[in-house]
Structure 1
């Protein structure tokens, strides 16, 4: 209770901090660690950073000049770490500074499967839909910040959520979200005809039909 109270900020002060970063709040403030839906006053896109991230120098992900590029080609990936008995979903670019898969490989992670998208917006939409499903099903992070400084919140216990289950969720959400994500009013971002997929063992294999596993398998976890 004390920790939650410590994260509280006067709503007017919180909104002022967001506006100072060029973000107009679209919903009431909760706490500094809760994602807060805002509209970027520079590019017009909707984003949901936490107040804590904004106060440490963060801003609109679309306007950022560093980190994950929402405009460039990107991919959703599923990885496994056998020593930690963990699985992870994540997003990253396909080359250069945004290549997160190779970064995780150096820490012992093994690529199980990945899906390539025309832009980071598409990859981000799929990742967030999968994470929301898992959290609503009661699955919290398996690893902590000390074990994995970058990306620990997207890790899950492999005995409870397998790599196959993650892949099924990705495929299902690709089918569900195709043509529906609109970060800018009137502009459809998801373009399934430009998607491709590669697995960790067969990089050139084409993606099988989306949603092959079927929605009826999702209650497995």
Structure 2
């Protein structure tokens, strides 16, 4: 159950899977063909559910298999705000930094797994953490993480291009440099 720091033999990125995940077929979160794609464009979103008086932060892809916001809309949630990023790794780093800050301030999960089977741990009481407060917290974490290579304490999250470049330089150029991605006007290039 303990995360084990290692380097993926397929992509060369640093990952921390548990032995249990490896035994059940899991492994590198960057190479995974299922779930949230850390290398594809992604977004951090805030949704609000008036009947539950709850607010939620989450991450999801911008299209295809990871479109979480549409799933939440069908369950009665309304999109309050979102921020687009070049990679899922960047969105994940922002989400984790916000959750860490809110947990330190004493805000635990508001809904339970019976009410919200997927993502209940990222819900908060909207009277204590309003959508506006949550959006302000996200903006502050984005500003704090901008131009960093270590967005979350003890976790090194880099854009895939940068991780590949670091791996390439450490292995004396055995890995080719990836094509640079162009930043769309609605995407944030968080880590440089």
TM-score (norm 2): 0.74
1:38 corresponds in structure 2 to: 5
Q: Which deviations, in whole Å up to 9, do the C-alpha atoms of 1:181-206 show, x marking residues without a partner?
A: 353599279x9x75637xxxxxxxxx
More relative contact order, 1 or 2 (CA 8 Å, 6+ apart): 2
Contact 1:117 1:195 in 2 (8 A): no
Aligned counterparts of 2:100 and 2:7: Cα–Cα separation in 1: 23
Q: Could you tell me which of 130, 146, 150 is aligned with 1:178? A: 146
Q: Which runs of 5+ in 1 are unaligned?
A: 1-13, 15-28, 30-35, 198-206, 208-221
2:100 corresponds in structure 1 to: 132
2:162 corresponds in structure 1 to: 187
Contact 2:4 2:19 in 1 (8 A): no
1:114 corresponds in structure 2 to: 82
1:196 corresponds in structure 2 to: 186
Q: Secondary structure at the match of 2:162?
A: coil
1:111, distance to aligned residue in structure 2 (A): 0.2
Map 1:1-221 onto structure 2 (within 5 A): 29=2, 36=3, 38-42=5-9, 43-48=11-16, 57-181=25-149, 182-183=156-157, 187=162, 196=186
1:50, distance to aligned residue in structure 2 (A): 6.0
Q: Which runs of 5+ in 2 are unaligned?
A: 150-155, 165-180
Q: Secondary structure at the match of 1:159?
A: coil
Q: Secondary structure at the match of 2:132?
A: helix
Aligned counterparts of 1:117 and 1:195: Cα–Cα separation in 2: 10
TM-score (norm 1): 0.65
Once superposed, what is the RMSD of the aligned Cα atoms? 2.8
Aligned counterparts of 1:143 and 1:113: Cα–Cα separation in 2: 20
1:117, distance to aligned residue in structure 2 (A): 0.6
Contact 1:126 1:170 in 2 (8 A): yes
Q: Secondary structure at the match of 2:69?
A: helix
Equivalent pairs counted in the alignment come to 163
1:56, distance to aligned residue in structure 2 (A): 5.1
